[in-house]
Structure 1
Amino acid sequence: MAFPHAKVEQDLLFAISPQSRWDAVIVLASDVKGIDNPTLEQCISQQQQMDARIGRETVLMVNQEVAGGRLVFAPVGNLQRDMDDVRRIADAAKQAVIMARDAGAVNPLLVLGALPDSLAFAQSLEVAYLAACQALWQPLEAREALNESEIEPVQSIGLYSTAPVDCDWLIAVEAGRRLARDLCGTEPERMSPPQFADYCEQAFAGSAVKVSVISDDAVLRRDYPLLHAVARASTHVERHQPRVIRLEYTGQGPIDNTLLLAGKGITFDTGGADLKTDGHMAGMSRDKGGAAAVAGFMLSLARYQPKGVKAIAEIGAVRNSIGSDAFVADEIIRSHAGVRVRIGNTDAEGRLVLADLLSHLREDAMQAESPSLFSVATLTGHAARAYGPYTAYVENGAARLANCGNALCELGDVWGDPGETSRLRCEDFDFVRPRSKADDTLSSNNGPSATTARGHQFPAAFLCIASGLDKHELSSEQPLPYTHVDIAGSGVEGGDWQHSKPSAAPVTALAARYMPKA
């Protein structure tokens, strides 16, 4: 799983010279005057006199005075307005690195111009590197079918900085993001539940993360009854049979934080008996984005091995198929936590998978040091409608008191992986209340989440009830912080779930919050 590794350059004069190891220089700046190097400023200014595009759009210039004879100037625009953030630099880096690659560069150097003296831009160089890697990634199917070195030719990316840059941390984060993109973005047969599990086992082989996979149908039926119900119509097809993947990392020294993460891994979502129609099934192989992000974050931990952190992840890799044995609305299924769940709509399958995973993780959390629980999922169209390309963090009372969501949002802003927080309200619990004594909770309504009031908040209330986490509120003897993370809007670039690149959100935000640099 090769990708361009980051390497720091502190001597800019030599780094940009034709004698250096770099074969292109990429300059990201608001304007030419913000470039703190006479050679680069003169080269770009001279070209600007002949080319009116310079300073308005990303342009490649041929110049024998710089490394590789290639100079790319990518304007980042005005960064002084309240609305501007580090993604301006990320977007420019994506355009520039593709231009450099297409021109034949395999070892480009990134150079930043003057930036606002603000915490919001403190990680701009690192964000530019991660954005460049995002732009250069090619789908797993393409890498397996074609020559990987030809379609992903860039070998390394230089980062000019006079201040220290933790390249090991950056490389660990990008390794996790790359795994997340591979798992999320791969078509449903190549990344069916068994193959999803196999790919994880390969990715973590020989690492600091212990991997175990549950494949036995009887065990899944007994210990993950809601998850198994979703998979019921797929169990007779061997290559589609469900898997639960458990990943465990324990850092050295006293444990300061225990993270417990549940990942929704619907490898394909037909909607089940409540079948998706009118073309809405296209792109549903990416309904495993939450599980992919969880696995990616665990790989980042495995690569960097931070001290004082323990993390346990459970991933439900399941295909929601349609068939004679499909589960249907009105069924009442007892969850792992013993909660009687009435099925409202079979296309609200992800929360069923997550509920059983969370119930197991809840048991781990009760014995853990400083636990925080998370569920990560492409769960609702409402999250995308409400927040656009931002990750939605929905907190219970204990998580809100611990500032879980806000901390992730603040760090996400700095690292180009932004989000928005939501609060659980009484209406959310009322929405999934039982309508009779036959059941304890309702899984969903029958309307589209995007047009349902509080459509991304009430599923978190259901998850609290169905997993037993409602017994661990602030007023309980053992409160457990729980944050539901909905990446339906942030999981792919541009919102095209069939064709766009997976974003690997929120791997970077999680790493910034819970993977402290050495």
Structure 2
Amino acid sequence: MIFELSGSTSSKSSLRIIPIFENSAADILPSKFGLDVHPSVFSGKKDSTYLLQHHDQLVLLVGLGEDQEINEVEKSFRRILSKNAEIIQDKVTLDFSQDLDSKLIESALIGFSLGGYSIDFFKREKDKKKDFRDLKVEVKSSIESIHLIVDRAEKISNAKIEAFKLVDLPPNVLTPTFLADWAKKLEGKNGLKAIIFDQKKAKSERLDAFLAVSRGSAKAPKFIILEHRHPKAKFHLGLVGKGVTFDTGGLNIKTQGMVHMKSDMGGAAAVLATTQLIVDLNLPINLTSIVPAVENAVDKDAYLPSEVIQSHAGLSIEVIDTDAEGRLILADGLSYLVQNYAIDQVIDLATLTGSSVATFGYECGALFSNSEDLSNNLQKAGLETFEKVWPLPMWENYRKEMDSEIADIKNYHGKPIAGAITAAKFLEAFIHEHPSWAHLDIAGVAYGDTEFSKTKSGTAFGVHLLLKFIENQL
């Protein structure tokens, strides 16, 4: 998709798209756009559209309702390409009135870009939907900073699309090596540095819990580190994303829903896409992102229930359940991050527990933190971006549930209660008492049913949330 500002080209578009707030259609359509549309036909009601021909140009009116939020505007514009591809030719014009502020225009541009995304990666060419990569999009707006809005929206949508792809690609393609190669391709952009540990290097770095999970897989694990440094950095943020590219459950094999376990690297997708976005925007922060990438499979070498394994933090772990693998790789990722970098804030994202889904459904992620300020800032950013997270308690009594008689800690308490909380308490044991840490359990929101796909697909949850969280501190 190629965005152009109004006046940069003389060729006329085949489709003009005009977003209109409810009840303003009768006033603004004839005065600004020269269109006479009766209110009974189109009034700007939320989620309504009206297609007409004006002279030799198609015009699509998009209703925004009375007071539209950014997430609804994004969805409204995503529908245009996703569900009206037949009316799109070689060029379109997005014609924004003065009623739309910069935030809504940014959301509209992001949504329009996302509308061109499809999960039909492996369909035969004749079956594929339209390819909008070369679509020219003229943007008309009276806002002086429109060029900055367009540039920013492009970078945000590019990051979200990468997060979509990483979750939606099948596990025979999206392997730990694929994620490592993806990270290497980002290297060099605005000075970004990529460091990849193979099994030998991971062993020398004492990443034993990470390595234990990967033992049953023919696909080699990769411990991915990305370093972004800015000369005017305001703070140093550390991110860790769970990168289980497929989760069978190990020897505690899953009995249902395994077909969706390619999504178990939703945390990694969010961290990698956010890293790309921070680098693209060149925000004045130092960022260190870690993605422990493994496949949790079953063979003769797979780690066993009742094993006692070691960890980077020096704590021994009794394995109660091999399907509680995500917390094991996160434990080593968190410990390595805190021990090797001077991090001001630490945030991990993971599709970690069904318990978080049982608590919040598909509405928001579960938030755990040892810092009230960090927790409040993440909640605020989540409400602003509609990628909501909400806190659950971290009381010390829950830590006792993870006590082991044979080791320092066990990886699962074995009870059908407080699963998300006890998982968070497990992770807390590996942050070396860092004073500003948050864990986001995004199992219910990183992947699921949407109107834009006939099957479950990635949501890019966490990308916009983390961007807003960062920018609120600058």
Q: Give the TM-score taking structure 1 as reference length.
A: 0.80
Q: Residue 157 of structure 1: CA displacement?
A: 4.1
Deviations 1:373-401 (A, max 9, x none): 0111111222233223344252432x32x
- In structure 2, distance between residues paired with 1:374 and 1:504: 16
1:483 aligns with 2:438: yes
Structure 2 SS opposite 1:151: coil
Structure 2 SS opposite 1:282: helix
1:514 aligns with 2:470: yes
1:101 aligns with 2:85: yes
1:439 is aligned with what amino acid?
A: A
- In structure 2, distance between residues paired with 1:144 and 1:511: 36
Q: Residue 138 of structure 1: CA displacement?
A: 2.3
Number of the residue aligned with 1:31? 22
Number of the residue aligned with 1:494? 449
Contact 2:321 2:411 in 1 (8 A): yes
Contact 1:77 1:88 in 2 (8 A): no
1:319 aligns with 2:295: yes
Number of the residue aligned with 1:195? 178
1:64 aligns with 2:54: yes
Number of the residue aligned with 1:281? 258
Q: Kindly report which structure 2 residues correspond to 1:267-278, keeping only aligned pairs within 5 A, or say none.
A: 267-278=245-256
Q: Kindly report which structure 2 residues correspond to 1:202-241, keeping only aligned pairs within 5 A, or say none.
A: 202-204=185-187, 206-217=189-200, 219-220=202-203, 223-234=206-217, 237=218, 240-241=219-220
Number of the residue aligned with 1:261? 239
- In structure 2, distance between residues paired with 1:206 and 1:147: 35
Q: Residue 5 of structure 1: CA displacement?
A: 5.0
- In structure 1, distance between residues paired with 2:454 and 2:171: 12
Deviations 1:127-168 (A, max 9, x none): 222222223212383499789994335635454443324333
After alignment, is 327-336 or 497-506 more displaced?
Answer: 497-506
Deviations 1:268-291 (A, max 9, x none): 10000010113x111111111111
Contact 2:80 2:115 in 1 (8 A): no
Contact 2:199 2:211 in 1 (8 A): no
Q: Residue 202 of structure 1: CA displacement?
A: 2.2
Contact 1:127 1:416 in 2 (8 A): no
1:348 aligns with 2:324: yes
- In structure 1, distance between residues paired with 2:374 and 2:229: 21
- In structure 2, distance between residues paired with 1:421 and 1:109: 43
Label 1:443 to 1:216 Cα distance change in 2 as closer, same or farther (>3 A): closer
After alignment, is 87-96 or 346-355 more displaced?
Answer: 87-96
- In structure 2, distance between residues paired with 1:250 and 1:146: 45
- In structure 2, distance between residues paired with 1:495 and 1:98: 12
1:505 aligns with 2:461: yes
Q: Kindly report which structure 2 residues correspond to 1:389-468, keeping only aligned pairs within 5 A, or say none.
A: 389-397=362-370, 399-400=371-372, 403-432=373-402, 434-436=403-405, 438-446=406-414, 452-465=416-429, 467=430
Number of the residue aligned with 1:476? none
1:45 is aligned with what amino acid?
A: V
Contact 2:107 2:153 in 1 (8 A): no
Residue among 222, 242, 245 paired with 1:243: 222
Q: Residue 426 of structure 1: CA displacement?
A: 2.5
**Structure 1: which 4+ aligned runs deviate by more than 6 Å?**
113-116, 143-149, 495-498
1:228 is aligned with what amino acid?
A: L
- In structure 2, distance between residues paired with 1:390 and 1:409: 14
Contact 2:449 2:455 in 1 (8 A): no
Label 1:85 to 1:61 Cα distance change in 2 as closer, same or farther (>3 A): closer
Number of the residue aligned with 2:333? 357
Contact 1:394 1:424 in 2 (8 A): no
2:220 is aligned with what amino acid?
A: Q
Residue among 163, 169, 175 paired with 1:186: 169
Structure 2 SS opposite 1:335: coil
Label 1:52 to 1:183 Cα distance change in 2 as closer, same or farther (>3 A): closer
Contact 1:272 1:320 in 2 (8 A): yes
- In structure 1, distance between residues paired with 2:350 and 2:258: 17
1:295 is aligned with what amino acid?
A: L
After alignment, is 494-503 or 504-513 more displaced?
Answer: 494-503
Deviations 1:244-300 (A, max 9, x none): 1110000122x321011111111110000010113x111111111111111111111
Label 1:85 to 1:53 Cα distance change in 2 as closer, same or farther (>3 A): closer
1:328 aligns with 2:301: no
- In structure 1, distance between residues paired with 2:121 and 2:190: 25
Contact 2:85 2:130 in 1 (8 A): no
Label 1:155 to 1:495 Cα distance change in 2 as closer, same or farther (>3 A): closer
- In structure 2, distance between residues paired with 1:393 and 1:5: 37
Q: Residue 317 of structure 1: CA displacement?
A: 1.1
Label 1:99 to 1:272 Cα distance change in 2 as closer, same or farther (>3 A): closer
- In structure 1, distance between residues paired with 2:283 and 2:46: 42
1:132 is aligned with what amino acid?
A: F
Contact 1:106 1:153 in 2 (8 A): no
Structure 1: any 5+ residue segments left out of the alignment? 473-478
Number of the residue aligned with 1:296? 273
Q: Residue 499 of structure 1: CA displacement?
A: 2.9
1:45 aligns with 2:37: yes
Q: Residue 215 of structure 1: CA displacement?
A: 1.3
Number of the residue aligned with 1:92? 76
Label 1:113 to 1:318 Cα distance change in 2 as closer, same or farther (>3 A): same
Structure 1 SS opposite 2:268: helix
Contact 2:190 2:282 in 1 (8 A): no
Label 1:127 to 1:313 Cα distance change in 2 as closer, same or farther (>3 A): same
- In structure 1, distance between residues paired with 2:362 and 2:14: 34
1:171 aligns with 2:165: no
1:92 is aligned with what amino acid?
A: S
> Alignment identity in percent?
20
Residue among 77, 99, 107 paired with 2:65: 77
Structure 2: any 5+ residue segments left out of the alignment? none
- In structure 2, distance between residues paired with 1:357 and 1:498: 35
Number of the residue aligned with 1:138? 118
Task: Supply the RMSD in Å over aligned alpha carbons.
Answer: 3.3
Contact 2:214 2:294 in 1 (8 A): yes
- In structure 1, distance between residues paired with 2:299 and 2:419: 28
